[in-house]
Chains A and B, each alone.
Chain A
Amino acid sequence: MSTNDPQQQMIRDAMQAIAQRKPGKTKLVYNKTKRTIEAVAEGTQIPRALNITADDADMFAVVTLASAWLREQWPHVLREGGVLCAFSTWDDGDALTQRELGSLPSTTIVQGSILLAGRDFASEGIGFRVLLNPIAKVGTDPAEFVAPDGSAYRATAFRILDESEMPISTVFADVQPELATRRSGILETTILADKSVLFIGLGTGGAHAALELAKCGVGRFALVDRDRLSVGNVVRHPGGISQVGRYKVNVVRDLIHEKNPDAKVSTHPFDLSYANKEELKHLVTEADLVICGTDNRASKLLVNQLCIEANVPAVYGGAFRRAYGGRVLRVRPKTSPCYQCIVSAMPEEESNVEVSSASDAADIAYSDQPVAVEPGLSLDVLPIANMVAKLALSELLIGKPTTLRVLDRDYDAPWYLWLNRPETGTPYADWPPLSESTDEMTINRWYGIYFDRDSDCPTCGDFISSLAANYGLDLNDLDALPAALPSAPEAVPTKD
């Protein structure tokens, strides 16, 4: 069948009009007598025919092009008459998305060409082509494209099937402006584009919080986690089964780019320990805010120490065992209680951690007494991650003119507690349900709890002076330590 056949041309026009939800000169109907689709002039009445609507037209494929990419390629397009590009195909070809648009392409890639109308461009064997027709004036048609030189075009795409061409709807996506438009009105996105957040620990909670901040428009991320995504992680982690085996930092980096393609993300798949202290210290000093989502005290204390030293605020989130609840701590160095202050004040509370992986269990197990892996449900971890992200957002907006300044009032407590069930054997077992009490603390409410900073804290306070004073010692008049004994055992390691 020739593409110049009048009926084919009418079908093409009608399909495009329907796909773009615009009235056209022709319409498509299903002719029940002929049992075929045909194009007829608008207003024509066909007996035993079913009008095809815009909703029906959603079955037609859509090709999405990246405006920014095409603008970059424009000199090449003008010189050569066109450009080749790769497309992800989704859902049996229902959607074709330019590969450059995101970082997680489809497993099926097809080659296409974008060419200027009236120019020759070799594209044999190409599965479809996008024709750019010059237009005099730009409207609101998503198929319109404005080149860097100001010239405007409307794209029509065709899938090439043997000798025929099947029209495909075309949409140009200008990613950053479109994402910013969706955020504007509630967030001043330019403020967050320059903000840098260091995420330490990218399990379910950390990864979720990172994605939420990416959606808010945070522009720079540094990701630290030593673990790879396992099959067992997938039921909770934003990373999917096809990502198993990859470092979590790389999985989350790609997910961030799916939400905020312009975000600058550095990845650091190393262990969080004193052996890597200097590298971690550098990352902390580069950050506007640190979010710590690790599940063990030693790593949190290390992060706390580095953040206090570098005067960088931090947010610590964690679930209780089996995620029956959780807590979030925001630390403003030297101003609010630090993680060490909280550990000193509530050592048992801060020892109650979720054991969500074999490595977490190994960290606290003995060889003769293993610790069971008891992860909570994703839906019980995500509220904690949301609170972490909200506190982080509030912190990143400090000192900025924003409509969200009201958060300062609502999130002024340093420590937040939330229980999602009255877990047996915990101090919260007798807490009433939300519906039964307005005066007592209940399940399913967040509580902001105030603590005073420990002025004698070993990390953020003046522990040394306080200790010396308690023992009547003068820090300026302390005896020197004795020299090492000649018989000191050399085989003892300086670190375990």
Chain B
Amino acid sequence: MWTDEQRQRIVLEHQVLQQEGFTQFTVYHDKASDTYYASGWAVSAAGYRYALHISIPSGFPYERPPMYITDPLPLLMRDGNKLSALGVSHYMHTLAPSPNGMVQICHWRDNRWHSGILLYKVFLKGLLWIEAYEQHVATGRNLSEFVGTMAETA
């Protein structure tokens, strides 16, 4: 399933995460299913904890890896409704949620993703999204008012 180049890239991604100071995140190998994922706990400036999970697809790095917030679940908006109910939302920077309602963060869209983007940049966008989310909870304003259009370059 995985090429040697893909496996090498994924191992390198873990090392880069550590060197770039994203030591709260780890790339894991599930040997039973021979799949990879990256996850860890992000702590916001306000001290709240969020579990971020990146599923590494079989086409990685050419295929965009989706990133979900797995905890808290469900993730609520200021009005108490589930954020996942919005689906693909420009105003909240979300993509299609997982079947059980985990919010998928819009880091790069498919039409912007390319294989030169490293996972630590994806986690960085996740951290920015969380800060914007907390601003939304505090003010009721959309996430898009706190994070602009995602930067193109990796």
- Give A residues with C-beta under 8 Å from B: 274, 277, 296-298, 301-302, 305, 340, 343-344, 347-348, 351, 353, 363-369, 457-459, 463-464, 467-468, 471, 473, 475, 478-485, 488-489, 491-496
In the complex, which residues of chain B have a beta carbon less than 8 angstroms from the beta carbon of A305? 62, 115
Interface residues of B in 63-106 (CB under 8 A from A): 63-64, 66, 68, 70, 86-91, 95-96, 98-100, 102, 104
Are the C-beta atoms of A488 and B39 separated by less than 8 Å? yes
User: How many angstroms from the CA of A488 to the CA of B71 in the assembled complex?
Assistant: 11
In the complex, which residues of chain B have a beta carbon less than 8 angstroms from the beta carbon of A274? 57-59, 62-63
- A-B contacts, 5 of them at CB < 8 A, read A298-B63, A351-B111, A471-B12, A473-B12, A492-B98
Are the C-beta atoms of A481 and B87 separated by less than 8 Å? no
In the complex, which residues of chain A have a beta carbon less than 8 angstroms from the beta carbon of B64? 298, 496
**Chain A min CB distance to B30 (Å):** 4
Picked from A277, A340, A363, A366, the residue with its CB within 8 Å of the CB of B111 is A363
- Give B residues with C-beta under 8 Å from A: 5, 8-12, 14-16, 19, 26-32, 35-37, 39, 51, 53, 55-59, 61-64, 66, 68, 70, 86-91, 95-96, 98-100, 102, 104, 109-116, 118, 152-153
In the complex, which residues of chain A have a beta carbon less than 8 angstroms from the beta carbon of B27? 481-482
- Which chain A residue has the least Cβ–Cβ distance from B58? A274
In the complex, which residues of chain B have a beta carbon less than 8 angstroms from the beta carbon of A479? 11, 15
Are the C-beta atoms of A491 and B100 separated by less than 8 Å? yes
Are the C-beta atoms of B36 and A481 separated by less than 8 Å? yes
Are the C-beta atoms of B26 and A482 separated by less than 8 Å? yes
**Chain A min CB distance to B95 (Å):** 7
Contacts across chains A and B counted by CB atoms under 8 Å: 164
Are the C-beta atoms of A297 and B112 separated by less than 8 Å? yes
Picked from B8, B26, B62, the residue with its CB within 8 Å of the CB of A302 is B62
User: How many angstroms from the CA of A277 to the CA of B60 in the assembled complex?
Assistant: 13
Picked from B19, B61, B90, B152, the residue with its CB within 8 Å of the CB of A351 is B152
Closest 9 CB pairs of A and B: A366-B90, A484-B30, A369-B90, A496-B66, A458-B115, A274-B59, A298-B110, A347-B152, A491-B100
In the complex, which residues of chain A have a beta carbon less than 8 angstroms from the beta carbon of B37? 484, 488, 492, 494
User: How many angstroms from the CA of A348 to the CA of B153 in the assembled complex?
Assistant: 9
Max chain B CB contacts within 10 Å: which of A351, A471, A484, A488? A484
User: How many angstroms from the CA of A351 to the CA of B150 in the assembled complex?
Assistant: 13
In the complex, which residues of chain A have a beta carbon less than 8 angstroms from the beta carbon of B116? 340, 343-344, 457-458, 463
- Which chain B residue has the least Cβ–Cβ distance from A339? B114
Q: A481-B11, A482-B26, A483-B30 are known contacts. Are A298 and B111 too (CB-CB below 8 A)?
A: yes
In the complex, which residues of chain A have a beta carbon less than 8 angstroms from the beta carbon of B32? 484
- Which chain A residue has the least Cβ–Cβ distance from B151? A347
In the complex, which residues of chain A have a beta carbon less than 8 angstroms from the beta carbon of B19? 471
In the complex, which residues of chain B have a beta carbon less than 8 angstroms from the beta carbon of A463? 9, 115-116
